[in-house]
Amino acid sequence: MDMMSRGDKGSGQAPMIDPHGRPIRYLRVSVTDRCDLRCVYCMAETMTFLPKADLLNLEELDRVCSAFVRLGVRKLRITGGEPLVRRNIMWLFQRLGRHLESGALDELTVTTNATQLSKHAAALWDCGVRRVNVSLDTLDPDKFAEITRWGKLDTVLKGLDAATEAGLAIKINAVALKGVNDDETDRMIAWCGERGYDLTFIEVMPMGEIGGDSRLSQYLPLSVLRGRIQQTWTLTDIDYTSGGPARYAQIEETGRKLGFITPLTHNFCESCNRVRLTCTGQLYMCLGQDDHADLRAPVRAADDDGPLIDAIEEAIGRKPKGHDFVIDRRRRAPAVARHMSVTGG
């Protein structure tokens, strides 16, 4: 049987199925590798960014995303780098919003550092976005500046206020950094509870060279962190899913959800329903593998989407069973060479 069997080609009636029987319903799209921050676990301080000519333009991004929607993807997440720093990015959100209106798409979301939310939160709501994930690792202004190398916490907090005012639901994503922010766990949980935010902790991922041995010293298994949390808070595991890899518990004292993304201590590959498109049009079938497919070439070779759809389906047919993430204490090297900002989270 054709492993891409899913009903009429391009009908959107059923998702593509990968070689391991997993339906592909979720596409994460990096629209830029650039960011206005330089978080120490994500980027080197002096990054060399991609030439703009290598990036898919906004019309090409719309075309690729729309092809995935035709092939059964029901959720699109726009990421970066920092997606909201890309020039005219709201045009893309407006275009993709038509798939929400038609019913072909269930959800259009964005992951952001919130520095630009004061400017864009209301427009995101108007485009059909109903929730955002905000990367925020500390509530201490000095520590925030240290982690991001030059960011200002006040700018982020104003962005969060604007998002709330616009009606957007907010989930905070915090990377657990040993010796950096692991003393703020209780404060983060209480703060999110007071503001009505859900919270997810993420293990450091070994992607891209960031200089020195910092990632080894930063790594904190979330199994250890959860044990600490349960000394203060009552956690009840729940079946809730947001479509991504987090496993969730209910915090009984606040009524909010607490997620854990554990690519190292407990991977989430068995239920992986997603693929990732880079800003250059490279499709990665797995975050922790280097195998990828070039979608930029078929997009630029023809106005007809036939070659693009063929390339997507061929790529899904190569989706691996799982990733190879590991914190390598012997080689002291990342599991994959590309930075998270290039892949799109």
The per-residue DSSP string of 273-285 comes to -EEEE-TTSEEES
Residues of the chain with pLDDT under 70: 1-13, 46, 205-216, 263-268, 323-345
Q: Do the Cβ atoms of 29 and 73 come closer than 8 Å?
A: no
Q: What is the pLDDT of residue 115?
A: 96
Burial class (CB in 10 A: 0-12, 13-18, 19+), 175: buried
DSSP letter, residue 207: B
Q: Do the Cβ atoms of 44 and 211 come closer than 8 Å?
A: yes
Neighbour count for residue 17 (Cβ, 10 Å): 20
How far CA 99 is from CA of 22, 51, 84, 295, in Å, comes to: 23, 30, 20, 21
Per-residue exposure over 202-234, b if at least 16 CB sit within 10 Å of its own CB, e if not: bbbbbbbebeeeebeebbbbbeebbeebeeebe
Q: What is the pLDDT of residue 197?
A: 98
Q: What is the pLDDT of residue 10?
A: 44
| Helical residues (DSSP H) of 71-197, grouped into ranges | 89-102, 117-126, 141-148, 153-166, 185-195
Task: Give the Cα separation of 142 and 44 in Å (integer).
Answer: 19
Q: What is the CATH number of the domain that holds 96?
A: 3.20.20.70
Q: What are phi and psi of 66, to 5 degrees?
A: -65, -35
Task: Give the Cα separation of 274 and 8 in Å (integer).
Answer: 21
Residue 46, C-beta contacts closer than 8 angstroms, at least 6 positions apart: none
Q: What is the pLDDT of residue 202?
A: 93
Q: What are phi and psi of 264, to 5 degrees?
A: -100, -55
Q: What is the pLDDT of residue 88?
A: 97
- Of 7, 108, 35, 4, nearest to 65 (Cα)? 108
Distance of CA 154 to the CA centre of its chain: 23
Asked, for residue 303, whether it belongs to a domain, the answer is yes
Q: What is the pLDDT of residue 9?
A: 43
Asked, for residue 8, whether it belongs to a domain, the answer is no
Structure tokens at 186: 């209780």
Asked, for residue 10, whether it belongs to a domain, the answer is no
- pLDDT tens across 279-333, in order? 999 999 987 788 899 999 999 999 999 999 999 999 999 998 876 544 444 444 4
Asked, for residue 6, whether it belongs to a domain, the answer is no
Question: What is the identity of the amino acid at 255?
Answer: G
- pLDDT tens across 54-69, in order? 999 999 999 999 999 9
Question: What is the identity of the amino acid at 143?
Answer: K
Asked, for residue 11, whether it belongs to a domain, the answer is no
- Give the total number of structural domains in the chain: 1
Asked, for residue 18, whether it belongs to a domain, the answer is no
Asked, for residue 7, whether it belongs to a domain, the answer is no
Question: What is the identity of the amino acid at 186?
Answer: D
DSSP string for residues in 263-319: TTTS--GGG--EEEE-TTSEEES-TT---EEE-HHHHHH-SSSHHHHHHHHHHHTT-
Asked, for residue 15, whether it belongs to a domain, the answer is no
Neighbour count for residue 58 (Cβ, 10 Å): 17
Domain extent, residue 234, equals 24-343
Burial class (CB in 10 A: 0-12, 13-18, 19+), 312: buried
